[in-house]
Amino acid sequence: MNLAIIGATGLVGEVIIKVLQEKDIYIENIFFAASSKSVNKSLEFKGQKIKIISIGKALEQKLDAAIFSAGKEVSTLWAPKFSAKGVTVIDNSSAWRMDKSKKLIIPEINGHELNQNDKIIANPNCSTIQMLMTLSPIHKKYCITRVIVSTYQSITGTGRIAINQLNNEYKKISGEKAYKYQIHQNVIPQCDDFIENGYTKEEMKLVNETHKILDKNISISATAVRVPIIGGHCESINLTLENPFELNNIKNLLSNSEGVVVEDDPSNLIYPMPLNSNGKDDVFVGRIRRDYSCENSLNLWVVSDNLRKGAATNAIQILEYVKSKGFLN
């Protein structure tokens, strides 16, 4: 397989390269592409130095697949050019997620929907992925009717500039800022831009992507908050189900779900935390408890590394799936 990573020098690009090296995927040739300021620099892959090339140069190569993680504008411009040459594009940006002609894929949930004609495949938003990894098995058995979710999102979701801002504020030095306000020792109740309905784009991604992937009939209300941590996103989720449930059955269901790890032992202070999810591919769920204020309702606390399962790992799982099915040219 010949593979290109578009946006190889970004936070997600770096993790894609790391995860590819961890997994036993045969890659004959790999190409790293980035912006002009990174061209001719080198990145290491399996002990070899690979020189970074331009996206245009990557397009000239004989490729089977390309993983894009360079933002919406780059994906909108370049993904169709790659797919037109028969390259399977897996895109981490928001460019294609709500395009009716493109599939939005979490392999454990709806990977089976893919076929050989899917040449641009959208990777969902990081917060959506970890939420639906836990909601999907519950929905299949008990039918979720309503979701209220509050997210507590790592600054890594904003990029390297946000990490630099946090570090600079901690050291009390000036520098470029990702956020209007101080993030050190603070939380900011805004992820992405506000839109006309009073919600942010991030909050509406949780709504719209859930409807596309899982079920358009689920009522969803979301609040997304930026927190000064590195290591993963956290979500407090309240669910209302159509059918009655036993709490132990919910726990067993989640424990037997691929890619989900239950950490739920309050008596021993065991519950998911971003410090422990950092660098791992699983989605961790705990604080599983009945909501006594509303019939057939429960609460979950969900944590996952947003750069791995929330981005890089999910994209690579899509790549593994299409490769295993013989969908690559």
pLDDT in tens, 167-223: 999 999 999 999 999 999 999 999 999 999 999 999 999 999 999 999 999 999 999
pTM of the entire predicted model: 0.97
Provide mean pLDDT across the span 38-54: 95
- Give the whole-angstrom CA distance, residue 141 versus residue 143: 6
pLDDT in tens, 153-172: 999 999 999 999 999 999 99
Q: Are 76 and 86 a contacting pair, CB within 8 Å?
A: no
Provide mean pLDDT across the span 43-50: 95
Please check whether the two domains, 2-124+311-324 and 127-306, share a CATH topology. no
Angle of helix 11-22 versus helix 313-324 axis, rounded to 10 = 50
Q: What is the second-level CATH architecture of the domain 127-306?
A: 2-Layer Sandwich (3.30)
Domain boundaries, the chain: 2-124+311-324, 127-306
* Residue 88 pLDDT: 98
pLDDT higher than 90, residue 329: no
Provide mean pLDDT across the span 302-326: 98
Provide mean pLDDT across the span 62-67: 98
- Which amino acid type is present at position 177? K
- Please identify which of the residues 126, 139, 191, 234 carries the catalytic annotation: 126
- Give the whole-angstrom CA distance, residue 97 versus residue 118: 13
Partners of 50 in the β-ladder: 43
Provide mean pLDDT across the span 101-123: 98
pLDDT higher than 90, residue 308: yes
Is-catalytic flag, 191? Answer: no
Provide mean pLDDT across the span 226-232: 95
Which is the CATH superfamily of the domain at 2-124+311-324?
Answer: NAD(P)-binding Rossmann-like Domain (3.40.50.720)
Give percent above pLDDT 90 in the chain: 99
- Please identify which of the residues 112, 139, 211, 233 carries the catalytic annotation: 233
State the pLDDT confidence band at 24, using cuts at 50, 70 and 90. confident
Q: Are 32 and 50 a contacting pair, CB within 8 Å?
A: yes
Provide mean pLDDT across the span 108-117: 98
The first and second tokens of residue 283, run together, are 């989605």
What residue has token string 């509406």?
Answer: 204
* Residue 231 pLDDT: 87
**Could you please report the per-residue DSSP string of 208-250?**
HHHHHHT-TT-EEEEEEEE-S-SS-EEEEEEEEESS---HHHH
